[in-house]
Amino acid sequence: MIENEDRLEEEAEEIRRETAEGSPEVAEHDRVAELERQLEEANNKALYAAAEIQNVRRRLETEKTQAANYATTQFARDMLAIKDHLERALDAVTEELRGDKVASNFLAGIESTSRELDQVFTRHGITRVEAMGEALDPHKHQAMMEVPTADVEPGTIVQEMQPGYMLKDRLLRPALVGVARKP
């Protein structure tokens, strides 16, 4: 009887091993679990790749917009020199010369050209940097000298030697200025 019980226990153990380790249901279950894990991993990689593509697309759109907005930067800087020459020419004209009929016609043409250039600047987002009476802003102004004065606070711009300009939100050229200091 003890022999029978031992043999029965051995058979039961063998059946449990076969069922747990070698049964087709358990092996298939492990394979399904592995495939589900691989599928989840592949889905995560696909989502990451899609997000990366979207980020690259956004970056390229931003770069494209900036390139279009600021493509004319060098041309605009070159045009500033022309604007400076026109302003210096108009500033150099005396009242006596303005009274002369021939010179006044010539001056009218220069003033008209200057106004047209201002309109072109405005259409393309080029604006003059405010300087006189403003506090010195190193992002927009370049101090060329200090002027001793008690009339205004130190650090206030009291003289503009050359106007500065912005292209939309970027500095094309800083304003060259004289800044007040204590006497």
Structural domain for 168, as ranges: 126-183
Residues 158 and 178 in one domain: yes
CATH number of domain containing 178: 2.30.22.10
**Do 27 and 60 fall within a single domain?**
yes
Q: Do 12 and 45 fall within a single domain?
A: yes
Same domain, 120 and 147: no
Taking only the tens place, the pLDDT of each residue in 14-37 is 766 665 555 556 677 788 889 999
- What is the C-alpha to C-alpha distance for residues 54 and 48, in angstroms, rounded to an integer? 10
Confidence of residue 61 (pLDDT cuts 50, 70, 90): very high
The H-assigned helical ranges of the chain are 2-17, 24-70, 73-91, 95-99, 101-123
Q: Does residue 12 share a domain with residue 62?
A: yes
What confidence category does residue 12 fall into, taking pLDDT thresholds of 50, 70 and 90? low
Per-residue confidence (pLDDT) for residue 17, from 0 to 100: 63
In the chain, the number of structural domains is 3
Domain boundary pick from 24, 49, 67: 67
- For residue 98, pLDDT over 80 is answered with yes
Residues 98, 94: Cα–Cα separation, whole Å: 6
Quote the CA–CA distance of 59 and 53 in Å, as a whole number: 10
Would you tell me the crossing angle of helices 73-91 and 101-123 to the nearest 10 degrees?
Answer: 150
Report H helices in 71-166.
73-91, 95-99, 101-123
Question: Is the confidence at residue 40, as pLDDT, over 60?
Answer: yes
Whether 133 and 101 map to the same domain: the answer is no
Which pLDDT value is given to residue 37?
93
What percent of the chain lies above the pLDDT cut of 70? 89
